[in-house]
Amino acid sequence: MLKIVNAVRRWNHARLERRRRVRAAGGTPAGAWISRLGRWLRGRNRNRLARRRARRGAGSLLESLAANDTSILEALVFLVRAEQQERAAREEATAAAAAKLAALEERVTEGLRGAATRPEFVEQTGRRELFSPELDLITSLAPLIEGRTALDVGANIGEVSAVLLDAGFAVHAFEPAPSAFEELTRRLGARRSFSAHPVAVGRDDGSADLHLAKDLSGGKYEDASLFSSLLDHATPPDLPFTAKVRVPVRSLDSLHRAGEIPADVGLVKIDAEGLDLDVIRGMGERSYPLVMAEYWDPEFPFARTGASNRLDDLVAEMRRRGYPWHIVLYRVWGRDGVAWYANRATSVERSWGNLLFFKDWRLFASASRWCAGSLPAARFVPRQPAEARGEGAKGDGPAQVETAAAASGRRKAS
């Protein structure tokens, strides 16, 4: 028995020794190989099962697609038809819009033709202000202007002041000529919201000589008091300055600071007979929604010497003060008619008129629409050489050709 036990021990020892030597030599026991073989077989079986499942799934998908191919084709047909219908609708809408545009163009053309042949109704009136498009424009803009106080600088006998009062403004009128101031207070002194000031308005406070004109034409200029001026500027031979009177001068800034005029001024009208630029410079840093000033072209008979109201100078000063838009209503000396243009800093040769300056674009747009519907617009073209006009001398034609020209004689929108 002992011999059997010892024999088993030796066999186990020998087996363990062989295993140790195989491991030491880098080998793998047979059991390990068998284990690896089992794992490989199991993995191969799993892969086979997966491939079978995939084949079965692909087959099911193909079977499903084959079963539903009719639905897919129907869906594709629906999409194609929808695209065609949408394209047809777009083409139809484009054609309809083009037809509407053509119809509108035809109506506009017919309207313009009708406007060209439509008779005008000219009403006779004794009120001189009704002949002034500036006053009609201000009346139409009055409800849009912020500030219900208006300043009438160079009021004369109050034609503009009366229109401003009727438009709902409280008016402060400034007129230095004694005879004109007397008539101004007689006409409007009793009206509510009207104040008259017997002073001239300029750049600084002080006093100055007011030059008084005399009409030697036999009534051509209607009222010589319209042409009184603090400047001894050029005048036509039949309208000379024949006298002068000393008058007080105030600036608008000074009048505001003294409380003689309120702060909520919505409109300033300036007709200072050549001194309009000084009146503007006397505003200080104040600004108003709408400022109207008179300009004279350098070839205008009153502006050839001594004047201080060139259009380009007025525009430059008001641009500096933050007024980006302006409208020009002008006449040409010796011609009939009033025309307009906007935002040009040049004047038509021998013209005079009024500049309206705007801070608010909406107010400017409203004024432009009124002008476009009421007055002819100026069209500027390059100057033609003298040879092209069949004239001998060069450079003697106007710098611009305007579509409308101007008033016979000088009738002021005072």
Based on the fold, state whether residues 74 and 107 are members of the same structural domain: yes
Query: Does residue 155 form part of some domain?
Result: yes
Structure tokens at 168: 């709902």
Q: List C-alpha distances in Å: 107 to 40, 112, 146.
A: 92, 9, 37
Burial class (CB within 10 angstroms; exposed 0-12, middle 13-18, buried 19+) of 159: buried
Based on the fold, state whether residues 297 and 229 are members of the same structural domain: yes
Based on the fold, state whether residues 113 and 199 are members of the same structural domain: no
The predicted pLDDT at position 399 comes to 45
Domain's final residue, options 82, 117, 152: 117
Based on the fold, state whether residues 160 and 86 are members of the same structural domain: no
Give the Cα separation of 159 and 197 in Å (integer). Answer: 16
Based on the fold, state whether residues 255 and 334 are members of the same structural domain: yes
- The torsion angle over the Cα atoms of residues 19, 20, 25 and 27, rounded to 10 degrees, is 30
Based on the fold, state whether residues 106 and 172 are members of the same structural domain: no
Query: Does residue 333 form part of some domain?
Result: yes
Q: Are 369 and 317 in contact (CB under 8 A)?
A: no
Count CA atoms within 13 Å of residue 337 on its CB side.
12
Which residues form the domain of 303?
129-374
Query: Does residue 136 form part of some domain?
Result: yes
Query: Does residue 76 form part of some domain?
Result: yes
The predicted pLDDT at position 394 comes to 38
Query: Does residue 411 form part of some domain?
Result: no
The predicted pLDDT at position 46 comes to 75
Based on the fold, state whether residues 236 and 348 are members of the same structural domain: yes
Which one, of 264, 244, 252, lies nearest residue 170 by Cα?
A: 264
What is the maximal distance between C-alpha atoms in the chain?
Answer: 172
Based on the fold, state whether residues 100 and 223 are members of the same structural domain: no
Q: Are 272 and 230 in contact (CB under 8 A)?
A: yes
Query: Does residue 254 form part of some domain?
Result: yes
Mean pLDDT by 10-residue block, N- to C-terminus, for the chain (414 residues)? Answer: 70 74 59 65 73 65 59 72 85 83 68 51 45 88 94 94 95 94 94 95 94 83 81 85 92 96 95 92 94 94 85 96 96 91 93 95 94 91 63 43 40 40
The predicted pLDDT at position 58 comes to 58
Pairing of strands 351-358, 290-296: antiparallel
Domain's final residue, options 65, 90, 117: 117
Domain's final residue, options 117, 150, 174: 117
Based on the fold, state whether residues 62 and 175 are members of the same structural domain: no
Based on the fold, state whether residues 322 and 272 are members of the same structural domain: yes
Helix, strand, coil shares of the chain, percent, nearest 5, are: 45, 15, 40
Based on the fold, state whether residues 143 and 89 are members of the same structural domain: no
Based on the fold, state whether residues 156 and 256 are members of the same structural domain: yes
φ/ψ (deg, to 5) at 180: -70, -40
Query: Does residue 393 form part of some domain?
Result: no
Burial 310-327 (b: 16+ CB within 10 A, else e): bbeebbebbeebebebbb
Query: Does residue 232 form part of some domain?
Result: yes
The predicted pLDDT at position 386 comes to 55
CATH at 169: 3.40.50.150
DSSP code of residue 376:
P
How many domains does the chain divide into? 2
